[in-house]
């Protein structure tokens, strides 16, 4: 009997470990054509595949608000909740973010970040007031990398800004980062671990979909992450070059396991049941 119970526990543990519990959703304006019935089907299929938490990348992208509190995105997210999914809701994203990072020096970058954090805080208040969502966390869409934050003083300034920002929220802050191999694996892991030490849920993108790092290099960066940092498994394969508009095709993630790390998958659009979003 004990042996049978042990086998059952191992099987249940393996199932839980490989369940796709956290799934990113990146809203696009083109998704407005998806019908309410199709959204319901998407969320039901997500739940059947083990998804418990939906991480919504943003609710405002530049000038686009996806219809606001009564628009298609708000309605889709309310339906996701009705189907039992918990929500980590993304805030404001500047459509020119990547360009701005390349243009700004240290003081300019700090000022820019402070302004963008203010935009996201205003978005968070708007969401709380008007969108009628139960929120388990807030996601800051501005991704971090060790190219633009290679300098220690930039990382220190960012840490102070994020600490102040997180303290003004009413639910845990989530954000993500990736490696451009400008810091060593240990320095990169220590940096993300320090951010996680602020009470922030930091997610490290594994880069498998973009192919930005060679497999052995990618593995070294992942192994250097502290357990407090989650891993995002990229379920796509980039088909565009660096100078082209981003395009990708669906691909299976490397794994749904990451040792001691929490795991999330990017993204709904590329999962088998998300084909309605790929047009």
In terms of C-beta density within 10 A (0-12 exposed, 13-18 middle, 19 or more buried), how is residue 127 classed? buried
Average pLDDT on 176-180 reads: 97
Residue 6 lies in a domain: no
Give Cα 137 to chain centroid, integer Å. 12
pLDDT surpasses 90 at 17: no
Q: What is the pLDDT of residue 212?
A: 87
Q: Report residue 101's pLDDT band, with 50, 70 and 90 as the boundaries.
A: very high
Residue 2 lies in a domain: no
Domain that holds residue 269: 20-277
Structure tokens at 253: 């993630």
pLDDT surpasses 60 at 19: yes
Q: How many CA atoms lie within 13 A of 80 on its CB side?
A: 27
Q: What is the pLDDT of residue 18?
A: 54
Residue 7 lies in a domain: no
Q: Report residue 119's pLDDT band, with 50, 70 and 90 as the boundaries.
A: very high
Report the percent of the chain where pLDDT is more than 90: 87
Average pLDDT on 165-189 reads: 98
pLDDT surpasses 90 at 9: no
User: CB of 16 within 8 A of CB of 99?
Assistant: no
Residue 1 lies in a domain: no
pLDDT surpasses 90 at 5: no
Residue 123 lies in a domain: yes
Q: Picking from 175-184, 249-258, 265-274, which range would have the lowest pLDDT averaged per residue?
A: 249-258
Structural domains of the chain, count:
1
The DSSP call for residue 78 is: H
Say whether 41 sits in a helix, a strand or coil.
helix
What's the chain's average pLDDT? 93
Q: Report residue 241's pLDDT band, with 50, 70 and 90 as the boundaries.
A: confident
pLDDT digits (tens, 9 = 90+) for 36-57: 999 999 999 999 999 999 999 9
Residue 149 lies in a domain: yes
pLDDT surpasses 70 at 169: yes
pLDDT surpasses 60 at 193: yes
Residue 150 lies in a domain: yes
Q: State the CATH number of the domain containing residue 255.
A: 3.20.20
Structure tokens at 45: 């299929």
Q: Picking from 189-193, 237-241, 258-262, which range would have the lowest pLDDT averaged per residue?
A: 237-241
Structure tokens at 15: 């199932």
Q: Picking from 122-136, 217-231, 247-261, which range would have the lowest pLDDT averaged per residue?
A: 247-261
Annotate 190-229 with b (16+ C-beta within 10 A) or e (fewer): ebbbbbbebebbbbbbbbbbbebbeeeebebbbebbeebb
pLDDT digits (tens, 9 = 90+) for 86-98: 999 999 999 999 9
Q: Report residue 262's pLDDT band, with 50, 70 and 90 as the boundaries.
A: very high
Average pLDDT on 243-261 reads: 90
Average pLDDT on 248-258 reads: 92
Structure tokens at 266: 């990017």
pLDDT surpasses 60 at 20: yes
Q: Report residue 148's pLDDT band, with 50, 70 and 90 as the boundaries.
A: very high
Residue 121 lies in a domain: yes
């Amino acid at each position: 009997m004990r042996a049978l119970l042990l086998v059952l526990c191992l099987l249940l543990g393996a199932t839980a470990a490989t369940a796709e519990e956290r799934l990113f959703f990146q809203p696009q304006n083109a998704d407005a054509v998806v019908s309410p019935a199709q959204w319901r089907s998407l969320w039901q299929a997500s739940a059947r595949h083990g998804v418990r938490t939906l991480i919504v990348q943003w609710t405002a992208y530049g000038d686009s608000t996806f219809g606001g509190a009564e628009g298609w995105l708000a309605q889709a997210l309310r339906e996701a909740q009705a189907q039992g999914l918990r929500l980590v809701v993304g805030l404001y994203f500047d459509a020119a973010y990547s360009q701005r990072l390349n243009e700004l020096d240290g003081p300019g970058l700090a000022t820019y970040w402070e302004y963008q954090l203010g935009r996201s805080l205003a978005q968070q208040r708007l969401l709380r007031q008007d969108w009628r969502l139960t929120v388990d966390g807030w996601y800051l869409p501005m991704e971090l990398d060790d190219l633009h934050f290679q300098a220690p003083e930039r990382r220190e300034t960012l840490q102070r800004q994020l600490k102040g920002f997180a303290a003004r929220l009413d639910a845990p802050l989530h954000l993500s980062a990736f490696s451009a191999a400008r810091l060593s694996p240990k320095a990169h892991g220590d940096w993300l671990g320090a951010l996680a030490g602020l009470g922030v849920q930091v997610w490290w993108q594994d880069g498998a979909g973009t192919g930005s790092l060679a497999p052995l290099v990618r593995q070294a960066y992942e192994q250097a992450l502290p357990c407090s940092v989650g891993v995002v498994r990229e379920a796509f394969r980039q088909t565009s070059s660096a100078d082209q508009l981003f395009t990708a095709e669906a691909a299976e993630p490397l794994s749904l396991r990451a040792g001691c790390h929490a795991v999330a998958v990017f993204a709904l659009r590329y999962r088998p049941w998300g084909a309605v979003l790929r047009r």
